[in-house]
Structure 1
Amino acid sequence: MLFLVRMDVRIPHDLPLEQVNDIKAREKAYSQELQRDGRWQSIWRVVGEYANYSVFDVASNDELHELLQGLPLFPYMDIQVTPLARHPSAI
């Protein structure tokens, strides 16, 4: 199942820099692991925002929910999920 996911990150300004850097490092490692195994198919920055659009290919809604909750930045994100279906004009 394919999903388009928009993630807007809102890290509190009073979070200590050392903690922010640790969270970001763990986020990068986790996301790259999911990209390598094919479940996180692509990730695109939104220009001028601390946000991204990503495409996930997972077996179920529950699997996507579990993966998103595993993101170290999850507590600081607003997430929108859009299920995708193949377009009849796609080649």
Structure 2
Amino acid sequence: MLFHVRMDVNLPPDMPANATDEIKAREKAYSQALQRSGKWRHIWRLAGEYANFSIFDVESNAELHDILTALPLFPYMSISVTPLCRHPSSVREDDA
């Protein structure tokens, strides 16, 4: 199942720099592991925002929920999820 996910991050302005650096490092490692596994297919930064658009390819709504809630930055995120399905005019066979 494909999902389009928008993530907006809102870290507290008074969060200590060392805590910010640590949580960002854990987030990067977790997200890159998911990308390597194929679960997190695409990630794009939104210019001028601390936000991204991502495409996830997972087995179920529950799996996506588990992945998103395990993000180290999850407590500081606003997330919106849109389920996707292959468009009949798509020329790409791997967009199932």
TM-score category, normalised to shorter length: over 0.9
Structure 1: gaps of 5 or more residues: none
Aligned length: 91
Residue number in structure 2 paired with 1:15: 15
1:62 to 2:62 alignment: yes
TM-score, normalised relative to structure 2:
0.94
The structural deviation recorded for 1:88 is 1.1
Identical counterparts, % of pairs = 66
Residue number in structure 2 paired with 1:34: 34
1:51 to 2:29 alignment: no
Q: C-alpha separation between the residues in 1 aligned to 2:57 and 2:36?
A: 12
SS at match of 1:30: helix
SS at match of 1:82: strand
SS at match of 1:27: helix
Structure 1 ranges of 4+ moved more than 3 A: none
One-letter amino acid of the structure 2 residue matched with residue 54 of structure 1: S
SS at match of 1:19: helix
SS at match of 2:25: helix
RMSD: 0.4
Structure 2: gaps of 5 or more residues: 92-96
The structural deviation recorded for 1:87 is 0.6
